[in-house]
Structure formats: C-alpha cells, structure tokens
Chain A
Amino acid sequence: MKIALFGNPNTGKSTIFNMLTGLRQQVGNFPGVTVDKKKGRIETAQGQHQLTDFPGTYSIFARSLDEQVVKEVLTNPQHPDYPEAIIYVADAANLERNLLFFSQLYDLGFPILLVLNMWDRAGQKGLKIQLEELQKNFPAATVVTANARIALGKERILKAIDQLSVGQRTAFHDTVFHALQTDAEQTQNSDERLQKIRGLKLVSDAKNAVVNPSTHLDRILTHRIFGYLIFSAILLIIFQFIFSFASIPMDFIDGQFVRLSSWSAAHLPDGVLSKLLTQGLIPGIAGVLVFVPQIAILFFFIALLEESGYLSRVVFIMDRLMRPFGLNGKSVVPLLSSVACAIPGIMSARTISDWKERLITILVAPFMSCSARIPVYTLLISLVIPKIYIGGFLSLQGLVLFGLYALGILFALGTALLLKLLVKSRTPGFHLMELPDYKTPRLSNVGFTVFEKVKVFIFDAGKIIVAISIILWALASYGPSSRDQALRELHQAQSYQQANEGEQQERDNALLLSQSYIGHFGKWMEPAIAPLGYDWKIGIALLSSFAAREVFVGSLATIYAVGDDTDTQKRLIQKLKEEKTDNGQATYSLATGASLLVFYVFAMQCMATLAVVKRETNTWKWPLLQLIFMGVVAYLSAFLVYQLLV
C-alpha cells in the first residue's frame, strides 16, 4: 500500500518517519521540483508498505513550492505519488490548529490515521484532550497517541495501519474545498473549519498550565546585542570545525586515493585504460569524496540548530537585515556556510520555501570567498603585495585579503538586489512562521540528516563532477602529435641532458602540459586574456583550475617546472618573481596580480558547485547562466583593475 505522511511543520513528523522506516530510506525530489521526497519501507502484520514523507504544511491551499507539491499529489489521483492511505501527524499540544489540515484530508476521503504526537508535552502544558469526542467527529479515522522522541507508539501505529479503511464517513465540513481558488474563498473555508473544530471543545485547559518557557530564553537569544553575539559565537565554532578540523579527514581521503592511484599504476599494465583509471577516474572520485567532511560537519550543526528550535530564531533576527536584498532570514545560513564552501551552502538553501528567495540565494552564494580560494589568494598576495605595515602594525597583505572577502560579500548582496528585480515571482515572499519550543536535539535525527545530505551529494552531484574531471584530465594529459616532436627536441637539448633526473622530470611535465590540448587552448585564447594582463601560461592555469580553484597553484607549479614537493610554494613564488615578459618587465606585476585576485573573487571556477546548482535547481539553465554571469563579471573587473594599474 502507498501511504503518505502529512502534518504541520514542527510536529515531529520526520521523527515519526525515521522511527517507522529506520535506515531503509530513499531520498530524492518530487517530479519536476526540488522539494525533498523521502521514501521508506514499513512492515506490518499484513505486509510491506511504502511510506512517503511530504513537506510539512498547514493546509492544502498552496502558496510555496512545498505546498504546491502537497496540493498536486492530493488532488490528482493519476499522480504517481497519490496515496492509498494517509498517516497524519498532529502536535497534541496544539491540537485545534493541527486539525485544520487533518479535516481537509479527512474530507478528501482517504483512509486516515491520526497520530497525536508529543503526547507528553500536551500534559506538561496542562491540556486535556477529549479523545472520545475527537473520534466521534471523525468516525472513519483511526486515532493513536505517540511520543516519537522516545520511540513510543511505533507498535500502535503499525497495528493501526492494518485497520485503515475508507469507512463510513460523512464530510466534516465539505468535500469540494480544494477547488476554491480565490484568497477570500480559501480564507473563509479555513476559518469555518477552525470555528467548527474549536466548537467541538476537544481541548480543556487545566488551569495549572506552565508559562511558555521558551519566552525567557527568547528574550536573550533574540536580543539586539546578545542575540547577534551568541549567533556569531556559534558561527565561529562551526567555521572552526569546517575550516580546521575538516582538513584532517580531507587530507586522509586525499592521501588514501593518492596511494590507491599509485598502487594501481604500479600493478596495472601500462595503457590508456590504466591511465584513465589511475589518473582520471580515481582522482575524479577523490575530488567528490573530499567534500564529504565539510558537508557532513555543516549539516551536523545545521540539523542540531534546527532540531533545537534555535535556527528559526536566527531567521527571526536576521530577516530584517536580509530583506532589502531580496533575501530572507533563511538565506543567512547558506550564505555564511559558503564562506567555507559553496557546496554545502547551496545544499542548505533547501530550507527556504519561497522559490524566488531560494534561487537568488543559490545564485549569489558562490560569490562568497570559499576556502578553496585561500591558496590562490595567499600565493598571489605574497607575490605582488609588498610586506609592509601601515602605521607599523596593520599588514597590507592582510588588508588586501580582507578586502577580497569584503568584495565577494558586496557582490553577493549586489547581485541579489539585481536578481530581486529580474526574477519573476507569482507570490510575494512571506516570513510568517512558527517559532517552535526549544527542545533537546535528537542525535538520531541529526544523524539521518547528515547521512542523507552526504548520500545525495555523492550520488547526484558526484557523477557530474567525476565526468567533468575526467574530461579535464584527458584534455590536460593528451595533446596533438606535435607534442611528441617537441618532447624529442627537448630531450636532445644540451641543458636537459646535463640536468639531474628530478629536473628532467619537471621539465618533461612542463612541456607535456603546455603542449596538451588545454595548453593549446590556453595559447589560442591568449589574445582574449592579454587585456587582463595574462599570458598563455596563466591561461592554462585558469583553464585547469576549473576543476577546483586551488588547482591554479598546482598548474602553475607544473608549467614553471618547479616540481611537486613540500617547498614548492617557496620555489614557485621565487620562480614567478623572476618571470619576465618579452619586453623585460616582470610577468607578475602588481597589475597582473591584482587582476588575477579580482578574477578569482568573481569567477565560477568550480565545476562541483555547478553540479550542485544543477541538482538543486533541477535544470542546467541556472548553473549555466551563473557560469556566464560570474565569468563576465570576473572578466570585466579583472580588465578594469589591470588597465587602471598598468
């Protein structure tokens, strides 16, 4: 049987889903939209059923993307996800409002199980629920109580599923309400339903109700000074983890794959296939897995904050600040996370239910300077920015680095403003939301979220990343036949024969890269990048760093034949400083260096981000537009900077 799980937000619906299905979950999208669809199997005495978790909504009337999915599925029996039965999760401590959507589903005629979750909290709040009266008014529904946070009620729910039937029912209110189109009609219908539900007097308040404890905490957490201080402190901790501690597992993954690569190279017969495997495929897969620690850490914290109820307070205090830019308080986490890495940042934009605001957030996130830009920034800054201290203590190099980050943030917000005017939207973005009570986070729910995000990244975005990295590898490793000729000439040169083995290897690699297809392409486009102050060698490094920005440094090292050891950075800077153009001036002048820095602030030099944007917007249109737009901005500003400084 196909069973659907519905309910208001913050009712513990996903806890119920996790409790019923365990790890047997599949995550995907609903057809045509990027709204999470989680499926799982459950087993009852009468057999196996498929359970689909739907986004939490307050009614069948649709405004946001989430709500449209719910409405489409419920009103179209031909829809592949049209359920045969419904489990409806209601917050027992908030019954009347929760029964609005329930009464709509009931009147649509589905066999329905009403789960009164968080039963304990209703008691704590001093609420008594008249179960008999509830049953009497919805005779065809089965009602059970549960407390999913302590795994209570699973057996009751499974047993009740087997007893579900359409049953004898008369509509609670009416049955054609989903055809109501205008705002006024929908409002009136919901209003009538709520009045009727309240009229049943299902909940009696036992006067000794405790004061809502959340309010005291909220005065501090949303305070105009402490609120921001506490949020900053939490961010600092998260960043510390993503920046510093994530590098431990990342280096480990990197190291293991390098070992795997060289092991396979040593044990496989030489040939195209073995090269494809050891130099294309294995590093490609490593390039996917290396992001996993950052994604896992970020979502661990996001899930923790969300579960606790704190995340909605962050949205509450940040909403006013983000609004002028066409963004929402919910954009804060994705944008700030992008300072570590745009990939988990963009993935976390899924919590923004308004499509326009979500799209804008996704499109501007890669302008935030991510950690992959740091190696590029530090190399170029130490190359062209003098080591001087303004007023004796303020490092100019540090100031420039700060400026680059500020530039990225400025452009992210500016572009958001531009997109706000350009992207059409059918509905104005709402803020209206519940601030749920604070709760202790459930680690198993956090674990499920982390597991699910990592899985989605590896399997959905991962295949695009592997494909593009293999293409880039092939273009950089193979070249036209003229390359062999050039290599023979190099080997005959006297200076080459006098060099030691290491130097010979370095010079081989330099020649192989510059004569490869990417190398030829870099030379071919030299006229286009000359106005930015770049020569063909920089062109090659730009092209190959599309795999990931930090590759820029490695590519330069290869081109300038400085090898691949620990003091590469020092030798590379030395070498680059000595580089002269044809007319005897330094290649890496201040103008060229500054132009490159600005280029890397703006350019979408990251195929993994493109793959994730494709996955999160469900079309190639947005990632391609983003690639072009960011490319144009990067080109124009690098041009401007170079021409001003040269």
Chain B
Amino acid sequence: MGLLLHMSQTLDSISLNELVEIAAIANNAIAPKLTEMGLTKGQKIKAIFKAPFGDPIAYEINGNIISMRKVEAMQVEVQMA
C-alpha cells in the first residue's frame, strides 16, 4: 500500500486521452500561474494532443484546452482518476 502511494506520476508522462486527477503542484514560480489556469488539486485533466517532437502538450481541463511545455507539466503531480 505504501508503495502504491509513492507511485505517483507527473502530468508530462501520462498517455494521450488518459483521464487523471491532479494530486499536487510543486511549489515554485510557475505554481501560481498553473493554479490561476484552473489546475488545482482534485481537478480532472487529460492530455489530448501533442506538438511535433512531443513538446509542448495540450491538455483538456474543465472544457478548456491548455498548452504546457513538458518542464511545466512536470510540476504537476497526478494520480489515476
């Protein structure tokens, strides 16, 4: 059980069309901006398409499409919805 809890993923590594839930956002300069765009704990989010070279990635959250660089998505911890 303890092992499972630590098996969290970050948003950059989820596969396309996989619905996940935001678990936490790393505390750094981009955190306030991510929050303002609606990325808060408990929100459902999924990757819907990627730019060529796999970066940036477009996510759907609350009916909006938001584009994030991989390094930005890495700040968002997610878990299975």
A190 touches B32 (CB 8 A): yes
Decide yes or no whether B2 CB sits under 8 A from chain A.
no
Decide yes or no whether B72 CB sits under 8 A from chain A.
yes
Decide yes or no whether A215 CB sits under 8 A from chain B.
yes
Decide yes or no whether A435 CB sits under 8 A from chain B.
yes
User: What residues on A are CB-neighbors of B60 within 8 Å?
Assistant: 212, 215
**Which one, A38-46, A90-98, A549-557, is touching chain B?**
A90-98
User: What residues on A are CB-neighbors of B29 within 8 Å?
Assistant: 63, 183, 427-428
Given the interface contacts A187-B31, A320-B53, A430-B33, does A97 sit within 8 Å of B64 by beta carbon?
A: yes
User: What residues on A are CB-neighbors of B25 within 8 Å?
Assistant: 187
| Shortest beta-carbon distance from A628 to chain B in Å | 34
A215 touches B33 (CB 8 A): no
Given the interface contacts A94-B62, A183-B32, A190-B35, does A431 sit within 8 Å of B40 by beta carbon?
A: no
User: What residues on A are CB-neighbors of B62 within 8 Å?
Assistant: 94, 96-97
User: What residues on B are CB-neighbors of A319 within 8 Å?
Assistant: 51, 55-56, 69
Decide yes or no whether A25 CB sits under 8 A from chain B.
no
Decide yes or no whether A487 CB sits under 8 A from chain B.
no
Contact for B67 among A96, A184, A215, A432, CB less than 8 A: A432
- Who on chain A is nearest to B68 by CB? A432
**Which one, A111-119, A217-225, A387-395, A445-453, is touching chain B?**
A217-225
Decide yes or no whether A312 CB sits under 8 A from chain B.
yes
A435 touches B58 (CB 8 A): yes
A222 touches B58 (CB 8 A): yes
Given the interface contacts A316-B56, A320-B53, A432-B66, does A215 sit within 8 Å of B36 by beta carbon?
A: no
Q: Give Cα A195 to B49, complex, Å.
A: 28
User: What residues on A are CB-neighbors of B28 within 8 Å?
Assistant: 183
Given the interface contacts A431-B68, A433-B67, does A228 sit within 8 Å of B35 by beta carbon?
A: no
User: What residues on A are CB-neighbors of B41 within 8 Å?
Assistant: 191
B65 touches A435 (CB 8 A): yes
Interface size class for chain B? 20 to 34
Contact for B32 among A186, A219, A224, CB less than 8 A: A186
Decide yes or no whether B81 CB sits under 8 A from chain A.
no
Decide yes or no whether B80 CB sits under 8 A from chain A.
no
Q: Give Cα A63 to B38, complex, Å.
A: 17
Q: Tell me the chain A residues, 289-342 only, with Cβ under 8 Å from chain B.
A: 312, 315-317, 319-321, 323
Decide yes or no whether B37 CB sits under 8 A from chain A.
yes
Q: Contact flags (1/0) for B6-50 with A, using CB distance below 8 Å? A: 000000000000000000010111111111111011000000111
| Shortest beta-carbon distance from A211 to chain B in Å | 10
A183 touches B27 (CB 8 A): yes
Q: Give Cα A212 to B60, complex, Å.
A: 10
Q: Give Cα A315 to B67, complex, Å.
A: 10
Given the interface contacts A183-B29, A194-B38, does A432 sit within 8 Å of B52 by beta carbon?
A: no
User: What residues on B are CB-neighbors of A427 within 8 Å?
Assistant: 29
A432 touches B64 (CB 8 A): no
Contact for A187 among B35, B53, B69, CB less than 8 A: B35
Q: Give Cα A323 to B69, complex, Å.
A: 10
Given the interface contacts A96-B38, A222-B58, A317-B52, does A432 sit within 8 Å of B65 by beta carbon?
A: no
| Shortest beta-carbon distance from A312 to chain B in Å | 7
- Residue from the set B33, B50, B53, B55 with the largest chain A CB neighbour count within 10 Å: B33
| Shortest beta-carbon distance from A322 to chain B in Å | 12
| Shortest beta-carbon distance from B42 to chain A in Å | 9
Q: Give Cα A510 to B56, complex, Å.
A: 59
- Residue from the set B25, B29, B51 with the largest chain A CB neighbour count within 10 Å: B51
Q: Give Cα A319 to B78, complex, Å.
A: 25
Q: Give Cα A227 to B49, complex, Å.
A: 13
Contact for A100 among B30, B36, B51, B68, CB less than 8 A: B36
B63 touches A212 (CB 8 A): yes
- Residue from the set B34, B50, B56, B60 with the largest chain A CB neighbour count within 10 Å: B56
B36 touches A61 (CB 8 A): yes
Contact for A320 among B31, B52, B63, B66, CB less than 8 A: B52
Q: Give Cα A132 to B16, complex, Å.
A: 39
Decide yes or no whether A125 CB sits under 8 A from chain B.
yes
User: What residues on A are CB-neighbors of B50 within 8 Å?
Assistant: 222
Q: Tell me the chain A residues, 50-86 only, with Cβ under 8 Å from chain B.
A: 58-59, 61, 63
Given the interface contacts A431-B68, A435-B67, does A61 sit within 8 Å of B58 by beta carbon?
A: no
Q: Closest 9 CB pairs between A and B?
A: A224-B52, A58-B36, A435-B65, A186-B32, A97-B38, A190-B35, A187-B31, A431-B69, A59-B36
Q: A100-B36, A209-B63 are in contact. List 16 more A-B contacts (CB 8 A).
A: A58-B33, A61-B32, A61-B36, A96-B38, A101-B36, A183-B27, A183-B29, A222-B58, A224-B52, A319-B51, A431-B69, A432-B66, A432-B72, A433-B66, A434-B37, A437-B65
Binding site for A on B (CB under 8 A): 25, 27-38, 40-41, 48-53, 55-56, 58, 60, 62-69, 72
Binding site for B on A (CB under 8 A): 58-59, 61, 63, 93-94, 96-97, 100-101, 125, 183-184, 186-187, 190-191, 194-195, 209, 212, 214-215, 218-219, 222-224, 227-228, 312, 315-317, 319-321, 323, 427-428, 430-437
What are 26 A-B contacts with C-beta separation under 8 Å? A58-B33, A63-B29, A100-B36, A183-B32, A184-B31, A186-B32, A187-B31, A190-B32, A191-B41, A194-B38, A194-B40, A209-B63, A212-B63, A214-B65, A215-B48, A222-B51, A224-B52, A317-B52, A320-B51, A427-B29, A428-B29, A430-B33, A432-B69, A434-B64, A434-B65, A437-B65
